[in-house]
Amino acid sequence: MRGEKTFSSFLPLISLSFFIFISQSIATNYPINVWPKPTTFNWPNPKSILLSPNFTISHPDHRYLTPAVNRYRQLILSEHHRPIITPAINLTSSTPLQNLIISVSDVTSPLSHGVNESYSLSTPSDGSSSAYITPATVWGAMRGLETFSQLAYGKNPIRVTAGVYVHDLPIFIHRGVMLDTSRNFYGVDDLLRLIKALSMNKLNVFHWHITDSHSFPLLVPSEPELAGKGAYGNDMMYSPADVQKIVEFGLEHGVRVLPEIDMPAHTGSWAEAYPEIITCANMFWWPAGNTPALAAEPGTGQLNPLIPKTYEVTKNVIHDTIAMFPDSLFHGGADEINSACWNTDPSIQKVVASNGTLNYYYLDCGHGSFVGNDSRYDQPPGTDQGNGGSWCGPFKTWETIYNYDITYGLTDKEAQLVIGGEVALWSEQADSTVMDSRIWPRASAMAETLWSGNRDETGMKRYAEATDRLNEWRYRMVARGIGAEPIQPLWMYHVKLAAAKSVQDALLVMTVKGGECKLTDYDISKT
């Protein structure tokens, strides 16, 4: 059996280690938890309070906060989250919670890079019928609403954690997911669902990699032929109205939409409308012999910097994109500039020959090899297949992402210059059918590390403690319509629940045959 380990004479040691491992995992978590973990979360006497069926949320009127409040009120009253392990929490005799009062310090701050997302939250334990969220801005109010929604659970009646105090703000101001919509197309509804999940995880940037060599799906009003000829089809374009819908949806969820038009490399799709401004367009990406590759993957083409028309078209594209997207930042790509591609053009060769220079650097990703017809991966069983053709292998697990420290090796002064991070889903082998499971819950792991870090109060990595919380959060995301992939079998919870009752009960879960105790998929060396 896969992962099976057999022990015969070490049962007492296994029993003790197993109990310690599980007990620590249970002891470090509250009965109800929030993802991402708040920077300060105090619940000295875990109890719950009933939620009134007439529950209301009081808040200042605001173009984007008001729909967020309406959305969260409906979620709180209808979600009926059922924790995987029923929390052993006593119900207070207090009056049911009647309302949540939101008091915003600054209702005018726009959603922009560096906006204050801090908030405080408290739920009553003394008979009061009100809970409170006190944010600096409306965007902090949205983060507080997400936290409050995760404190509600159960059905008939709905309960809310009582006597909780939260003070919360992110460590990093830029926390995002990048999605490539050029290699494969994603519908508007897919992008809205992504933004919805970003907001749930307190991520604040949707980095939209709109165009690439493979297609140009954005309808630019002053250059309509770029999408007219460069998109995969008329039903695979994003119109200005689509963009407006996506941007507005982002604002209602506290998520900035940051557009990227990749250039000067990755512009092969531009050649469908303007072949004269693109070098090495539609050439085979890796010529025979010792000739260097013209691109990092199939899909060649780069803007020709010596053609005046290049600057005219580029200016129009940037101008219209900025007009459609209100964010203060615009991403110009600039990755994988390939000197071999430019050198296929005689005029560029002449510039280089006269001591001109061209820079080259590489950044890309994938999900295994998508090129096909590659004999390197036709090997006998047992052969080391390397990274399997993936541009960025090996596969990054949620634990790898959670444990990654983006300021590793930096001085304290240098670390202060790091504004945050993003996870990226490139779409060589992804589209809407797998988007959710490729991104979640791995992006959730990054979300917590960028919000409150990956270490506990003593400075120790908290990935073991995070496992149960992330597993619970993944199930809650699925119930909210996000197709996040599982990180564990439910069997793990049955074992932990049994261990919480007694060591002997936990051991009964194991299979004992022929005097040997067989423990599946459990590495005793790591207890």
pTM summary value: 0.86
Contact 262, 212 (CB under 8 A): yes
Q: What tokens does 314 get? A: 């580029």
The whole-angstrom distance between residue 110's C-alpha and the CA centroid of its chain comes to 23
Whole-angstrom Cα Rg for the chain: 27
Instruction: Give the pLDDT of residue 442.
Output: 93
Quote the pLDDT of residue 294. 87
How far is the C-alpha of 29 from the C-alpha of 492, rounded, in Å?
16
Blockwise average pLDDT, block size 10, the chain, 527 residues? 34 32 45 96 95 97 98 98 90 92 97 98 93 98 98 96 97 97 97 98 98 97 98 98 98 98 94 96 84 87 94 97 95 88 88 54 41 58 60 77 92 95 90 95 96 94 93 97 94 71 44 40 35
Any idea which residues carry the catalytic annotation?
A: 336
| Surface-to-core class of residue 156, CB atoms within 10 Å of its CB (0-12 exposed, 13-18 middle, 19+ buried) | exposed
Q: Largest Cα–Cα distance in the chain?
A: 85
Q: What is the per-residue pLDDT for 203?
A: 98
Q: Which pLDDT score, from 0 to 100, does residue 397 have?
A: 87
**Where does 379-418 have alpha helices with state H?**
398-403, 412-415
* 69: number of Cβ within 10 Å: 23
358 burial class (0-12, 13-18, 19+ CB within 10 angstroms)? Answer: middle
Structure tokens, 370: 């998508």
In 3D, which of 116, 111, 110 has the Cα closest to residue 144? 116
Query: What long-range pairs does 82-87 form, CB within 8 A, spacing at least 24?
Result: 82/153, 82/154, 82/155, 83/31, 83/32, 83/153, 83/472, 84/471, 84/472, 84/475, 84/490, 84/493, 85/493, 85/496, 85/497, 87/31, 87/32, 87/46, 87/48, 87/153
Structure-block tokens of residue 476 = 């809650």
Q: What pLDDT does residue 110 have?
A: 97
Angle CA(390)–CA(391)–CA(397) in degrees, nearest 5?
Answer: 65
Q: How far is CA 57 from CA 67, 78, 123, in A?
A: 12, 15, 13
Q: What pLDDT score does 268 carry?
A: 94
pLDDT at 375: 59
Buried b (16+ CB within 10 A) or exposed e, 319-355: ebbeebbbbeeebebeebbbebbbbbbeebeeeeeee
Amino acid 19: pLDDT = 33
CB 164 within 8 A of CB 152: no
Structure tokens at 334: 């600039």
- Lookup result for tokens 């508007």: 188
CA–CA gap between residue 393 and residue 173 (Å, rounded): 28
C-alpha angle 477-479-482 in degrees, rounded to nearest 5:
45
Q: How many CB atoms lie within 10 A of CB 487?
A: 18
